[in-house]
Structures are given as structure tokens and as C-alpha cells.
Amino acid sequence: MKKIIVVGSTGRLGRVVVSGLEDYEVIRAGRSGPDLKIDALDFESVSNVFASVGSFDGLVSCIGGTPFKTFEELTMEDFATGLSKKCFSQLNLAKAAIPFLTENGSITLTSGIIGDEPILAGSCAAAANGALNMCVSTLAAEYAGKLRINIVSPSIIENSVEDYGMLFDGFEPTSEKRIIEVYRRTISAPISGRVLRQTRSL
């Protein structure tokens, strides 16, 4: 049974992803665990946590979080915090995971539709998602033949519509079924350097 570490496993997205990986050995990680406690912005800490696991077959990152404010309201501190939480943390996880991945193992990061489609008060999220999307093809080329790295870019997911749907008016939500399918694909399929966009604005 392949061993997959899911970081952000207790969030709305992470819970959906974990629910669809019943045929894998899933290690759930995040700031509060439950299996591994991890600070994604602390490279040494992440490396030590991964070392405690030993080799594994895949990393899935479901973390993120950026402030939704108008550009006028945003400070450079807001941008730095948003980019750190959404972009730099995931690149940190990927970098720390590489020495422990089995041959042709997979890394799956998460961006979001705001990297491609604008919404009001979404400039910080757009910057973070866009940076991730542009980075993945370069990383795939650098590690070709050694590992696979892809990004899933969902819209708002169905279990978040009630709370955040007003920010995504006119966007088709990504179903939980589709979330499971696309993350499973990144783990198992012979693809790398892809941004798997899961929906569109209507």
C-alpha cells in the first residue's frame, strides 16, 4: 500500500481529499496533526517530520489562506503573509519532501481559480496562486525522471459555498467527487508539470 502524506488534512479541502484515499496509507499532517504536527514555513522542522516517516510515495498539500481585501486595504504585510501561507509554505513542503520520496513519487500542490479568473478583493490570492501555477512546469523539468509534481487548481468547493459563495458569484463550484478524482490522478498518473484546472467562471 502506497504511503501518502496529506498536509492540511483537517481543512475543508483536505478532509475531502483524505476521504477519497481509502486504498492508500494516509498520514494526516497539519499544524494540529492529527498524525503529524507540522509548521510548513519552518524548513528544518518539516524535514525532521518527514525524516521521522522515512520514505513515502506522495505528498499532497491542501494548505493555504490569503486575506480577501481590496487592493487599497491591503498592506505589504498582508501580501507577505498571504504569499507565505499559500505559496512559500507549499514550496517549502515540496523542497523538504524530495529527499524522502520514492522513485517517481508525486508531489501535489494546490492553487486556485483566482490565479486565472479575477474576483473582487482577490489580488493577494491571485498573486499567490499565479506564482504556484507558473513555478510547477519549471520544477517538473528540473526533476524529470525522478519525481512528478503537479498543481490542482479548484474553484470554490461545494462544502464551502454556504460560507464563501458570495465571493465567487458566477463561478461553478468544484464537486467533492471531482476533487477526489483529480487528486487521485495526480498521485497515480504519469503526468508532471501540469496545472489541473477544475472549473471555470460561468
Q: For residue range 80-104, what is the model confidence (pLDDT) as tens digits?
A: 999 999 999 999 999 999 999 999 9
CATH number at residue 51: 3.40.50.720
pLDDT of residue 169: 86
Residue 79 lies in a domain: yes
Residue 202 lies in a domain: no
Residue 107 lies in a domain: yes
Residue 167 confidence class, pLDDT cut points 50, 70, 90: confident
**Residue ranges making up the domain that contains 152:** 3-197
Residue 102 lies in a domain: yes
User: What is the number of structural domains in the chain?
Assistant: 1
The pairing of beta strand 36-37 with beta strand 195-197:
unpaired
Taking the model in full, what pTM does it have?
Answer: 0.95
Residue 169 lies in a domain: yes
Residue 53 lies in a domain: yes
List, in order, residues 6 or more apart from 150 with CB less than 8 Å away: 106, 107, 108, 109, 136, 140, 186, 191, 192, 193, 194, 195, 196
pLDDT of residue 163: 82
- Please calculate the CA angle 174-180-183 and round it to the nearest 5 degrees: 100
Q: For residue range 191-202, what is the model confidence (pLDDT) as tens digits?
A: 999 999 986 555
pLDDT of residue 200: 59
Is the confidence at residue 130, as pLDDT, over 70? yes
> First-to-last CA distance in the chain?
40
Residue 108 lies in a domain: yes
